[in-house]
Amino acid sequence: MYFEDLKGKRILITGSTMGIGLAAAQAFAQLGAKVGLNGRRKPENLDTLLADLRSKGGEAEFFQADIASTADCERMVSEFVARFGGIDVLINNAGGLVARKPLDQIDDAFFADVINVNVRSALMTTRFALPHLKAAAQASGKTSSVILVGSIAGHTGGGPGASLYGATKAALHNVQKNWVDYHSGDGIRFNTVSPGTVDTAFHADKTAETKARIASGIPLGRLGQAEDIAPAFVFLASHAASGYITGQIIDVNGGQFMP
Ligand code: NAP
């Protein structure tokens, strides 16, 4: 009953051709939403991905864009709006380590790359989506929703070589506070989903032994799966479920870290 309001909602999810973003897209499609997938590359199995989302009951389209680039963020938002007629929910999910580099190896180019993919991306995509989210809220009388994807690293500082990544995620944890202060009047809510260690391509550099060691330190005894994160997005996207929740971080981490 709470999530029925997501039927027909127009939901743009950055970085959603695999991993956490794709699992979220699948959950929204099951609820009858209109979902925009995004990635830098067109996935080889794109037709299958889209057919699967459509067969679940949703509408789905792919928007190729490198959201580290402001111009691409603007183009992606306008292409999504041209296809679906507006935006009700924006999920700023794309992000990543770029590489693991200790402090003495961080140069200007690496600094720019990590900031661009994690912070510029979310800020610029939100910037261009804002008028559409506001218009959707005005038309429906319900709140629109922006969801950021933070990280356990944004709380702890990050693992080896991930100091800059951790700092960008802390920036995302923080920036929504300002947006809540200055854009709640537009009928938009801003929240963050902050995952712990989730077993996606993000951790492709780790051996099975390393993953088992990390899992043994997690109170729920296992790494997260992308499907563990999706319900938090569904909750924060639904006005019926979370219409009075804004400016919050939901940590989905099996107890790995308790802020
Ligand atoms: P993933 O499996 O590596 O998937 C990343 C997705 O983002 C892919 O669809 C990728 O497609 C896309 N992407 C990457 N860079 C992009 C760019 N510049 N522009 C557009 N799309 C881009 O990653 P994940 O584990 O699902 O992570 C998703 C989010 O959760 C990230 O923000 C990550 O920082 C955060 N997170 C992950 C974990 C974890 O343990 N996995 C923990 C905490 C937070 P292309 O490669 O084709 O661009």
Q: Domains of the chain by range and CATH? A: 4-252 (3.40.50.720)
For residue 180, count other CB atoms closer than 10 A to its CB: 17
Strand partners, 234: none
For residue 40, count other CB atoms closer than 10 A to its CB: 15
Mutate to test the pocket of ligand 1, among 14, 20, 75 (most ligand atoms within 8 A of CB): 20
The pTM of this model reads 0.98
pLDDT in tens, 86-100: 999 999 999 999 999
Is the Cα dihedral 52, 54, 55, 58 positive or negative? positive
Task: Evaluate if residue 2 carries a pLDDT over 90.
Answer: no
pLDDT in tens, 155-180: 999 999 999 999 999 999 999 999 99
What percent helix, strand, coil does the chain show, rounded to 5?
A: 50, 15, 30
pLDDT score of 16: 98
Query: In this structure, what DSSP letter does residue 53 have?
Result: H
Between the CA of 140 and the centroid of ligand 1 the distance, in Å, is 31
Active site residue 244: no
Tell me the average pLDDT of the chain: 97
pLDDT in tens, 139-153: 999 999 999 999 999
